Amino acid sequence: MNDIQFIEHNGKRAFAVIPINLFERMAAAFEDLNDIALYDATKAADDGFCFPGAVLHAIIDGVHPVTAWRNYRGLSLEELTTIAGIHPTLLLQIENGTENGSTATLQTIAQALNIAVENLQE
């Protein structure tokens, strides 16, 4: 066993001096425990929604989020406008960035794409 030295203060153990090899093993174990706790917390907070890599990469490359999601869902511009009940010109303007779209319009598009409206924000 490793030799541990104790330092007392007012007659009570106040500090422990441990060999470096024991300290390094303990530090690694604590880091593992922190990683496990972080993983558990993240897993518990998971709402089940995953942001697809194809959508994320498209948005990072400068594609409008509506276009990225529409392409990911395999919908043409015409198909999305039909499902969402909006005019094709409006959708084209939103995807091109010349029109922001009202909150109601974006909500309609999000519902048609089966995502939260927050996922359409640039």
Distance between CA atoms of 85 and 88, rounded to whole angstroms? 9
Contact call for residues 65 and 110 (beta carbons, < 8 A): no
The reported pTM is 0.64
Q: How many CB atoms lie within 10 A of CB 94?
A: 22
Q: What is the pLDDT of residues 39-73, one digit of tens each?
A: 999 889 888 778 899 999 999 999 999 999 999 99
At 46 the pLDDT is 86
